[in-house]
Amino acid sequence: MQPSRRSDFVFKESLQGLTPSVVPPLDPGFVPTALVLDRYRQEVERCGGGEPLAFALEGESGLVSRFEISVVSPERPGFAVSLRLAERVLKFLLWSRGGARAYVAGPSSICAHLRDVYSPAGERRFDVELMGKVYERPFEVRPVSLEDLPDERGMPMRLGGHLDGCRIGFDLGASDYKLAAVIDGEPVFTEEIPWDPKDQADPAYHRDRIQAGLELAASHLPRVDAIGGSSAGIYIGNRVLVASLFRSVPEDLFADEVKMMFLDLQKHWGVPLQVVNDGDVTALAGTLALGKQGMLGIAMGSSEAAGFLNKEGHLTGWLNELAFGPVDFSPAAATDEWSGDAGVGSMYFSQQAVNRLAPSAGLSFPPEMPLPERLAFVRERVDGGDERAAQIFATIGVYLGYTIPWYAEFYDFDDLLILGRVTSGRGGEVLLSTAREVLEKEFPEVAERTTLHVPDERSRRVGQAVAAASLPQLPA
């Protein structure tokens, strides 16, 4: 039986002006992508079912990750929504899982659209260029038939948890550099050192300050057996492939002096050294602290970092760069200055989100005030009882409550670890309690199976450095 014309009308109109039942107090135009996908699925069924649209992302060392949704056929009135949703799903897959090539199978018009959008001249050329840098070969979207779609192929790796010996851990943030000296799993020294890497074009600035920090931590140890580090960005084999901290370094200097920096440091120190994405260390910190697996970690700092350990306690080989993952479906969503895309995580779960929302709360800053100081100012206002400032964190909490189900579409987790400076103090308490309320109201099934964890105040800031120290395995 053919679906009625009324079903067509419902499908076409139901995704226009979609408003969540809990509206962020400072961002009434927010359109959660999780709600869009949920409503889209309902309307696909209402219209009599859809066609499969399948993705296979091919990453490093033969890793293949698959994902599938149902979409309406091209002749249906809701097809424009299908194009937009397909583009957002592929965008999230690229930055959560990564891929040197994306295979797509489904309606030919959707596959062709994705191929054009994700091309060197397309709207998502930033993503195309970055994936090319990560995997060191040109990225492409390749339409194929469902029968020719590559099979899923995992590449789980054991990560960290090595506590023996005298170790140094570090975490490189955009505003400070966190250090830990650890003996047999116990921190004997932690420190936060302010720095300003993102505006520094000279690689010597980065190298010298990292080396000075390692020497400071080493001064609190009888010897150094291993060094582990984390930083925002993409690191493969200790090579710096993409990292916002080094964005001001000219491309030729980056290739000559930054890309191999940690391999050079390893030679200098003569001990096992491992550097990974800071989000992976967030998840590792949660696993070490809570003894749980199937852990997604989210760090809200200068940007959004994420990491994931599966339910076997292994890394998946995915990128987990959720700073670029879309979360807001609204055409008027906040735009990320680096990627040029709208509605991505960095603008919703970071210091940038606090700065963006402050004017709507009636707060202003001197133009020269850096983001960390702006965050500190807002936190002080919240701690002092300023309800306008508290609305900033309530808004971010609404974002988070609606985004957890979206993350759950792509990650199989039962435990979510939240940390970073944005989650500190009373503002962080407002943020997390709001997220829990939204989740319980809108997505009770997800709320029932998901536990949100928050480490103690000190661990939120330096816990990643301590966990990073456990990354390298000592020689037998």
Could you tell me if 422 and 475 lie in one domain?
yes
User: Are 417 and 313 contained in the same domain?
Assistant: yes
Tens of pLDDT, residues 372-384: 999 999 999 999 9
Give the pLDDT score at 457.
Answer: 53
- Maximum alpha-carbon separation in the chain: 78
Contact 436, 396 (CB under 8 A): no
Query: Rounded CA gap, 165 and 182, in Å?
Result: 8
- Continuous H helices in 47-200: 79-96, 108-117, 125-135
What pLDDT, on a 0 to 100 scale, did the predictor assign at position 9? 39
DSSP strand pairing (101-105 vs 51-58): antiparallel
Mean pLDDT for the stretch of residues 450-462: 69
Instruction: Extract the tokens encoding 404.
Output: 């957890």
| Predicted confidence (pLDDT) per residue in 21-37, tens digit | 999 999 999 999 999 99
Do 129 and 213 belong together in one domain? Answer: no
Q: What is the pTM of this model?
A: 0.85
Same domain for 378 and 283: yes
Give me the pLDDT at residue 16, please. Answer: 56
**139 and 168, same structural domain?**
no
pLDDT(82) > 60? yes
Report pLDDT for 244: 81
Look up tokens 């997604």; give the residue. 296
User: Going along 175-270, which residue ranges are E strands?
Assistant: 176-183, 186-194, 226-231, 234-236, 239-242
| Claim to verify: residue 196 and residue 231 sit in the same structural domain | yes
In a shared domain, residues 293 and 395: yes
Question: What residues pair up with 295 in beta bridges, in sequence order?
Answer: 309, 415
Predicted local distance difference test score (pLDDT) of residue 28: 95
CA distance 71 to 148: 19
Rounded distance between C-alpha atoms, residue 221 and residue 159, angstroms:
24
**Average pLDDT value for residue range 165-190:** 93
Q: What is the pLDDT of residues 202-229, one digit of tens each?
A: 999 999 999 999 999 999 999 999 999 9
pLDDT exceeds 60 at position 460: no
166 in the same domain as 61: no
State the pLDDT at residue 283: 85
What per-residue confidence (pLDDT) applies to 152?
94
The span from the CA of 365 to the CA of 81, in Å, is: 39
Question: What pLDDT is attached to residue 6?
Answer: 39
Res 12: pLDDT: 55
Q: Is residue 33 located within the same domain as residue 53?
A: yes
Res 1 pLDDT > 50: no
Which of 105, 122, 148 lies at the terminal end of a domain, its last residue? 148
Domain span holding position 45: 5-148
One domain, residues 359 and 412: yes
R_g over Cα of the chain? 22
Per-residue pLDDT tens digits for 404-455: 999 999 999 999 999 888 998 999 999 999 999 999 999 999 999 999 988 7
**Quick one: pLDDT at residue 302?**
85
Domain end position, chosen among 91, 118, 148: 148
Q: Are residues 231 and 311 in the same domain?
A: yes
DSSP lists the bridge partners of residue 71 as 51
Q: What one-character DSSP code corresponds to residue 366? A: -
Final residue before a domain boundary, out of 148, 168, 187: 148
The pLDDT of residue 78 is: 67
- Please name the residues in contact with 217: beta carbons below 8 A apart, sequence gap of 6 or more: 168, 169, 170, 179, 180, 181, 189, 191
Query: Residues 400, 431: contact at Cβ < 8 Å?
Result: yes
CB 437 within 8 A of CB 400: no
Are 75 and 127 contained in the same domain?
Answer: yes
146: Cβ contacts below 8 Å, ≥ 6 apart? 52, 54, 105, 106
Please check the confidence at residue 361 and state whether its pLDDT lies above 50. Answer: yes
Enumerate residues 6+ apart whose C-beta is below 8 A from 97. 57, 59, 65, 316, 318, 319, 410
pLDDT at 285: 80
- What is the model's pLDDT at position 314? 81
Confidence of residue 5 (pLDDT cuts 50, 70, 90): very low
Query: Tell me, what's the pLDDT at 327?
Result: 98
pLDDT score recorded for residue 456? 65
Instruction: Match 């600035």 to its residue by tokens.
Output: 205
Q: Which of 215-219, 300-304, 330-334 has the highest mean pLDDT?
A: 215-219
How many domains does the chain fold into?
Answer: 2
- Give whole-number Cα distances, 359 to 180, 335, 352, 354, in Å: 37, 16, 12, 10
Closest listed residue to residue 225, CA positions, set 160, 168, 159? 168
Residue 11 has pLDDT above 70, yes or no: no
Confidence of residue 2 (pLDDT cuts 50, 70, 90): very low
Please give the pLDDT value at position 284: 85
CATH number at residue 211: 3.30.420.40
